[in-house]
Structures are given as structure tokens and as C-alpha cells.
Homo-oligomer: A and B are copies of this chain.
């Protein structure tokens, strides 16, 4: 692992990249301890604060974890989906809030992904997944529910659908898409409440999944997508020309 002191890039960025490469290439393996900060500083011929900045960069990507104390140090982290979920959600939320992608584009991607999960979920969903979905549908039909709680339940419902596919990669990919849209969906439900319709569609999905009927699930998801995008469009128009 070497760096180029003449490079215009920050030393800490170079060091982070060098260590990252070592992890990706397998020269550093999971749970292996990196040299101490002092040793790394010596090795790269930089000061300890510079090394620390590099390590913080890697920690931000969950590539390493650090422990204090004797026999502490920085260790190569085994990536787990928990960490990745939250990062994915943060990224997706920002993409939407910064207008880097339109709601329509995000919505299309979200339902495309969800429909990709549907056949797998119809095939593999367990009784647990079904029970979760039924429970969320029941919660959604409670009259006193706040809009926020309804949206959270909506997210949980779709989460169960996706998890039913039994593929953590798909779950991870969709976590961002679904959760990132919650704030915007919230805004929509505030103005255009139509819970009955959504609940009915959710019930259709649960029924179809119970019957392992992938085709129907897909069809209902298409309906739900159209409905969502229509609502978003209505809200957008109402905003442009407020009565």
C-alpha cells in the first residue's frame, strides 16, 4: 500500500483509497485488524490526524469499525444489511429532496423493483409475511390513525411484500426507494385522503400472495402505481394553481 505525496488529492483520501483497495482485493480480510494509527502514520509517512481522517472516511462507509483500548484498533467490517439499509435510505431521501430525481422517476423505479419482487414473493412468502401484511392492513383501517402512522404502516406492508421474496439484495435495494418516498407520500395523503382505496388494493395483494398468484399481485401493483402517480400529479397541479 503506497500513496503519492505529489498527487493533488488529499493525503487522507489517498490513504482511504489505498486501504479500500486492499479490502476489495482481499489483501485485508473480514475481521482482520489494521495496523494501529501510529503504525499507519509511520507506514504512509504522514501524521496521525491524517491517518485518522482516512479511517473516518472508511468508517462512514461501514468498511471498518474501531475499538478503543488495548488490543483495540480498526477492524475490517463484514458488511451487514442493517448498516447498508440506513445508508441506502439516506442516499435515496437526498436524491429526492435535492430534486436530483423527480417523484415520478422514483415512483416508477420503486414499483418496477417491487413488481420484480412479486413473483418471488408469491412463491416464497411464509405465513409470517402474510400475517405481517394482514396486521398492517388491519392497522390501516383503524379510524383514529394519524397520516404519519398510516404511511409508516404502508411502508411496513410493502416491506413485508419485498422481504417475502427472501432475497436480501432486493430488500436492500428497495428499502431506500420505499422509505425515501414516505415523506412525500405523507404530503399526498394529507391532501388527498383515500385510504379505503389503498387498503382495498393492499387486501387484494395479500389475497393474491396467499393464493401464490403472481399475476394478480403484479396487476394490483400496476394499479397502485398508477394511482400513486395520479395523486402526485394532482397535488403538483393543485400547488401550481392553488384554487
Contact = CB atoms under 8 A, between A and B. Distances in A.
Interface of A: 12-13, 16, 20, 23-24, 26, 30, 49, 52-54, 56-61, 63, 78-81, 84, 87, 90-91, 93-95, 97-98, 100-101, 105-106, 108-109, 112-113, 115-117, 120, 165, 167-170, 173, 177
Nearest to A100: B79
A66 to B, nearest CB: 8
A60 B78 CA distance: 18
A53 B49 CA distance: 9
A100 B80 contact: yes
22 contacts: A16-B60, A24-B97, A26-B97, A52-B53, A54-B56, A56-B56, A57-B60, A60-B60, A61-B91, A63-B94, A79-B91, A79-B94, A108-B120, A108-B167, A108-B169, A109-B167, A109-B170, A112-B116, A112-B120, A112-B170, A113-B173, A116-B116
A100 B100 CA distance: 30
Nearest to A54: B56
Contacts of A168: 101, 105
A108 B84 CA distance: 19
A169 B78 contact: no
Nearest to A21: B90
Contacts of A177: 169
B49 A109 contact: no
A173 to B, nearest CB: 5
Contacts of A49: 49, 52
A117 B94 CA distance: 23
Contacts of A94: 23-24, 63, 79
Contacts of A57: 56-57, 59-60
Among A79, A93, A177: residue with most chain B CB under 10 A: A79
A87 B20 CA distance: 11
A98 B32 CA distance: 12
A81 to B, nearest CB: 8
Contacts of A26: 97
Question: What 5 A-B pairs are tightest by C-beta distance, nearest first?
Answer: A109-B169, A116-B116, A57-B60, A60-B60, A112-B116
Given A60-B60, A109-B169, A112-B116, 7 more contacts: A30-B98, A56-B60, A61-B91, A81-B100, A108-B169, A113-B116, A173-B173
